[in-house]
Amino acid sequence: MNDDERRERGMKIRREVLGDEYVDRAQAGITPLTKEFQDLITRYAWG
């Protein structure tokens, strides 16, 4: 599984668990400082 597949799977699971509204708000709050960390979490903690 490559990073793009992990990210896609992670977002799917994250949305199933937390709901679209929560994830959309969280995504809207990403800053340049937190972007890489959020991506890492999505790929490896959720994906």
CB atoms under 10 Å from CB of 5, counted, come to 11
- Cβ-in-10-Å burial (0-12, 13-18, 19+) of 42 comes to buried
Size (the chain), residues:
47
**Rounded to two decimals, what is the model's pTM?**
0.84
Model confidence pLDDT, tens digit, residues 1-47: 899 999 999 999 999 999 999 999 999 999 999 999 999 999 999 99
Give the per-residue pLDDT at 30. Answer: 97
- Residue 8 tokens, joined: 């896609």
Domain count, the chain: 1
- Residue 2 tokens, joined: 């490559």
Give the per-residue pLDDT at 4. Answer: 94
Range of the domain at 29: 3-46
